[in-house]
Structure 1
Amino acid sequence: MPKVSIKICTKLHTILQDESFNNFQVVQLRDRFLAASTSNQSVGDAYKFIYRQVSRLVKKRALRKVNKESTKTVTYQKTELFDQINFVINGPIEASKPLQKLLDRTEQDAIQQLKERLKQSEVDLLTSIGESEEYMRLYKSFPEMKEHLESQYIVARENSSKLLGQIKAIKSVLSHQQK
């Protein structure tokens, strides 16, 4: 009988190769998978991924589905064929396509939030510059208010400098994210 080849992700293969890991439920395999994973994959996404992989292994007869009527639980056992299968190990990118889509969406959201923050900071900067310019005009018109206007001018100018720093930082992060 020719050897069967099945593609499988590295972490899942490692867990299933453990001889003590047999007679398991999908939830148990999912929990082991999440414990071994370094990604922030949701429990639901991980369950779907593991369930699809287990179903595929059942179809290929590498695993046997066992229904326990008394407890209404489903467990899976490795078959004799399991040890004869040639597992082709996929890298982490292949195993986490749903996760990659989620990360891409999250990155897009972050970029959008950064762009909105940049616009708001630019508006705040223009407001602050206008405020400091107005304090200078008022100072020239009302020299008797020098002390109060000068302190307000300095505060507005410092605020402008902080906003300019924020804008530079946001632009730097945006340019890095969009590469």
Structure 2
Amino acid sequence: MDGSLSDVELWRYIYDQVRRLKRVGWIRQDAVRRRRDQVFHVLGKPSDLTVSLIDDVDSRSGTGCLDGGAGGARDLQQPELCATLRLESLAKEIRLDMLTALGEAERYKQLFTEMPDLRLRVEEDYLDARDRSSRLLGHLRAIENTLKTLVVA
């Protein structure tokens, strides 16, 4: 990168990527929880995961908040535009994650119906998927309400 990101923005970006890797099961957090220097263990790539490399997300869309080009100067004059774009992007990601968790919970429910003897083995996974989808729904509602507030202002 050209150094246009602050340390906080870079930390947030890396943290978001680590959370995504953890959520899809590519990495596992160490049993010892640390406030600093947390250790993660890289697992094998999940078989149902499709990966595509993207050079620069912001330049691809042409509407990035941090691209430093002509759009960057315009975004500095309209910080609510930058916030709106970031929130819309976050809402899309959360919506996708929520649908994934809902689909997972739905499939576990179908498995319970079709094969009742599996219930004890996978019930905890079902509850985790259901809880995750509920939390993500709350996140999505908060972001959508914030977007409405920004649009009205």
* Structure with greater Cα Rg: 1
TM-score, normalised relative to structure 1: 0.42
